[in-house]
Amino acid sequence: MIPVFWIVEGGNQVAATMDQQNLAIERGMHTYAQVCTDQCFAIDNDKVKDVTYNGFTMDYFQKVTDNELRRIIAGGVFNPKAVHQPVNPNAVPRAEEYGGGLLSNDVDYLMALIRSSDPKNHEKSGFDELPAYLQANNTTLYNAAVTFGKQGQFGEAKDMTSQKEITIDIADNGSNGVTCQSQQGCFTPINIKVKVGTKITWVNKSRLAHTVVAAAGQDIASPKPASDIFDSKKQLATNDTFTYTVTDAAYNANSDTHRLLYYCSIHPDMVAQLVIEK
């Protein structure tokens, strides 16, 4: 028979461990709010969504080891495939040993916070408390995250809902003032608001061949095709075109936002967005 005081002592140790873990997660959330301020997350109806750290999604972090997670945080490694890149790479948070301002405890706390986003590791994500914390401590960042939630990572969409036929160019990065994240080419305008029934024609004005493919979901780091919505299939050579008429399927693809991403399957870092209305 196990002595009662051993059971009580064991229970106290478990409770103490949980308290320490919760404290680490809370401190990680505070640190995150201080260092991850450039389109790291969105807030919609006081809930956090589209959470990233250094351009990596929480789904990505669920697949990596603790050593890799620590390397990304401490070394200030930024996802090269993320659509939104830092204007100043030196501003990416990193640990002191890499010339940054994160203390070793800060790295540990951020790791605890990120790991809490996986339900297998913790019953509640530390990110759930972020909106309330920001409302009390940083209303500017809170408001920016709310705006980000409404507009997405491409910023405010160009309103073209009054037009029944639209042309989108595929251009070389840097040509005629066109810029985007990809060095292989850009869709321009990169983010437009259209209505169901609008006829869109993409014209390849780039020197390279490209495709135009609807993306499934909102993961632009590793986009997956939603070819049932639209897919040019063949490569578009210079001056080739692809035409698509916006359907209800596109409108309903992401029913919470009605935003549809699309990309070039040859150069998957070429991503753009349609904001669809009825």
pLDDT at residue 220 is higher than 80: no
| Weakest-pLDDT range from 176-185, 188-197, 249-258, 263-272 | 176-185
Q: What is the pLDDT of residues 64-80, one digit of tens each?
A: 999 999 999 999 999 98
177-201 core/surface letters (b: 16 or more CB in 10 A; e: else): ebebbbebbbbbbbbbbbebebebe
pLDDT at 121: 80
Spell out the long-range contacts of 158-162 with Cβ–Cβ below 8 A and sequence spacing 24 or more. 158/189, 158/191, 158/192, 158/193, 159/192, 159/193, 160/189, 160/192, 160/193, 160/194, 160/198, 161/193, 161/194, 161/195, 161/198, 161/277
Q: What is the pLDDT of residues 165-179, one digit of tens each?
A: 999 999 999 888 888
If you average pLDDT over residues 110-118, what whole number do you get? 96
**How many angstroms separate the CA atoms of 213 and 118, rounded?**
30
The more confident residue out of 219 and 87 is 87
Q: What is the pLDDT of residues 228-268, one digit of tens each?
A: 999 999 999 999 999 999 999 999 998 888 999 999 999 99
Q: Which of 162, 171, 164 is nearest to 236 (CA)?
A: 171
Please report the domains of the chain, with CATH numbers, ordered by start residue. Answer: 4-151 (no CATH), 158-277 (2.60.40.420)
pLDDT at residue 8 is higher than 80: no
pLDDT at 85: 82
| Weakest-pLDDT range from 22-26, 31-35, 55-59, 154-158 | 154-158
If you average pLDDT over residues 149-174, what whole number do you get? 90
pLDDT at residue 15 is higher than 80: no
